[in-house]
């Protein structure tokens, strides 16, 4: 890595995608493959990148938006904008300060930070060194005692919601990181749960998929147990099927993240923005919906909100920015999206987020 990534943003960066070429230069081949790659033939990854371009805006003119703002309240946290940093694992792959750098950037931009179970910085250190709002992303561990310990640590350290990821009990097959035999560097690990990546033990003739990983994967009963085990809101991340969205509500979910995991788990899934309208119709007004996978522009944020999302999350651009300009880069990415969102709102006649709906989109006419 070049030392310059610690202190400056390259002068020619004008959009989120501009960070990608700099990140590729700064990262090792293995780190780049892990961060930028996706499962199988990367069809879902490509679809995520193009889905929003197919949705057309319908602008308005002569609107009075002089009192405009992008403020939002989510689970008791008042935020300046609806742009959330996604729970990305092993952020020290991109920057020596890892998740701490991202949390500081989110705090500087008055936004929400989400810490991954597989973070490379201890959750207590993030809480000690930052004061911004934060959620904890949970992967269920092999037994409930280990899972509950993580939840209780998050509660004790001021994390205000639990975001449980349910769509990745098994990594996608034949992905780029496997082709380059990815291994974490010696100074990067899942410090909050060191046993998280152990391969399950299986009997002779058993399947590593069915009798291995899936045997310890969570169920809807585990979601209900989690709800009973914490005082914090529980947000379920990784919903694509509207049937599962309904089941999540039945299980008591306080919010949903509509996500295909950035194309990293199962290839050829639909994009979140494709299924969002139906899920919104089924959940209208009852629980917040957060959308990730493919958000790269302020217009993308606007379109997701118009189709029913309450907020959005961004993942890979955070890592690209970290690898390019550290926490300053991450803050810049968030600010770029917010500036582009404000511009889109102004030109579409929307004074605040409540004014954004599907009347702002041409595809629904």
Give the pLDDT band of residue 267 (cuts 50, 70, 90): confident
Could you give the CA distance from residue 219 to residue 335 in angstroms, rounded to a whole number? 38
Give the pLDDT band of residue 202 (cuts 50, 70, 90): low
Please tell me the predicted confidence (pLDDT) of residue 40: 67
Please tell me the predicted confidence (pLDDT) of residue 43: 85
The answer to whether 298 touches 343, Cβ cutoff 8 Å, is yes
Could you give the CA distance from residue 116 to residue 122 in angstroms, rounded to a whole number? 10
Which residue among 81, 95, 261, 355 is the active-site one? Answer: 261
Give phi and psi for 91, each to the nearest 5. -70, -15
Give the pLDDT band of residue 36 (cuts 50, 70, 90): confident
How many C-beta atoms surround the C-beta of residue 88 within 10 A? Answer: 26
Residue 332 appears among annotated catalytic residues: no
Please list the residues that pair with 114 across neighbouring strands.
135
The per-residue pLDDT for range 229-251, each reduced to its tens digit, is: 999 999 999 999 999 999 999 99
Please determine, for residue 23, whether its predicted confidence score (pLDDT) is greater than 50. Answer: yes
The per-residue pLDDT for range 150-195, each reduced to its tens digit, is: 999 999 999 999 999 998 754 444 444 444 556 888 889 999 987 7
The per-residue pLDDT for range 48-75, each reduced to its tens digit, is: 889 999 999 999 999 999 999 999 999 9
Share of the chain above pLDDT 90, in %: 73
Please tell me the predicted confidence (pLDDT) of residue 169: 59
Please state the pTM of the whole predicted model.
0.92
Q: What angle (nearest 5°) sits at the alpha carbon of residue 324, between those of residues 17 and 28?
A: 100
Please determine, for residue 2, whether its predicted confidence score (pLDDT) is greater than 90. Answer: no
Please determine, for residue 3, whether its predicted confidence score (pLDDT) is greater than 50. Answer: no
Query: Which residue would you say has higher pLDDT here, 230 or 144?
Result: 230
SS3 content of the chain, % helix, strand, coil (to 5): 45, 10, 45
Query: Which residue would you say has higher pLDDT here, 18 or 363?
Result: 18
Please list the residues that pair with 311 across neighbouring strands.
290
Please determine, for residue 210, whether its predicted confidence score (pLDDT) is greater than 50. Answer: no
Residue boundaries of the structural domains of the chain: 3-364
Give the pLDDT band of residue 93 (cuts 50, 70, 90): very high
Give the pLDDT band of residue 198 (cuts 50, 70, 90): low
Q: Average pLDDT of 187-212?
A: 67
Give the pLDDT band of residue 350 (cuts 50, 70, 90): very high
Q: Average pLDDT of 310-318?
A: 97
Please tell me the predicted confidence (pLDDT) of residue 7: 66
Class of domain 3-364: alpha beta
- 3-class state of residue 312 by DSSP: strand
Please tell me the predicted confidence (pLDDT) of residue 82: 98
Could you give the CA distance from residue 186 to residue 145 in angstroms, rounded to a whole number? 28
């Amino acid at each position: 890595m070049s030392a310059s990534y610690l202190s400056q943003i390259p002068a020619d960066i004008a959009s989120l995608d501009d960070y990608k070429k700099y990140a590729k230069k700064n990262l090792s081949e293995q780190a780049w493959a892990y961060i930028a790659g996706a499962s199988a033939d990367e069809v879902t990854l490509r679809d995520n990148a193009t889905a929003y371009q197919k949705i057309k805006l319908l602008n308005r003119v002569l609107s009075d938006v002089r009192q405009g703002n992008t403020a939002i309240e989510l689970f008791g946290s008042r935020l300046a904008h609806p742009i959330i940093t996604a729970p990305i694992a092993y952020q020290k792959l991109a920057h020596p300060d890892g998740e701490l750098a991202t949390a500081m950037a989110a705090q500087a931009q008055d936004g929400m930070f989400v810490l991954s179970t597989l973070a490379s910085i201890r959750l207590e250190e993030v809480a000690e060194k930052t004061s911004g709002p934060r959620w904890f992303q949970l992967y269920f561990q092999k037994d409930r005692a280990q899972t509950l310990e993580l939840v209780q640590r998050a509660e004790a350290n001021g994390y205000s919601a639990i975001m449980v990821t349910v769509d990745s009990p098994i990594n996608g097959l034949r992905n780029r990181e496997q082709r380059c035999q990815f291994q974490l560097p010696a100074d990067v690990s899942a410090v909050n749960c060191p046993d998280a990546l152990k391969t399950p033990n299986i009997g002779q003739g058993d399947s590593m998929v069915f009798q291995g990983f899936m045997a310890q994967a969570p169920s809807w009963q585990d979601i209900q147990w989690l709800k009973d085990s914490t005082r914090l809101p529980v947000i379920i991340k990784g919903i694509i099927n509207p049937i599962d969205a309904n089941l999540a509500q039945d299980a008591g979910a306080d919010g949903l993240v509509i996500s295909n995991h950035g194309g990293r788990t199962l290839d050829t899934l639909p994009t979140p923005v494709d299924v969002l309208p139906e899920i919104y119709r089924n959940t209208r007004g009852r629980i917040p919906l957060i959308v990730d996978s493919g958000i790269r522009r302020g217009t993308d944020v606007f379109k997701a909100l118009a189709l029913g999302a309450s907020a959005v999350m961004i993942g890979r651009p955070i890592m690209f920015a970290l690898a390019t300009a550290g926490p300053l880069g991450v803050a810049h990415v968030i600010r770029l999206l917010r500036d582009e969102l404000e511009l889109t709102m102004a030109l579409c006649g929307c004074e605040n987020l409540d004014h954004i709906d599907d009347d702002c989109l041409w595809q629904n006419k």
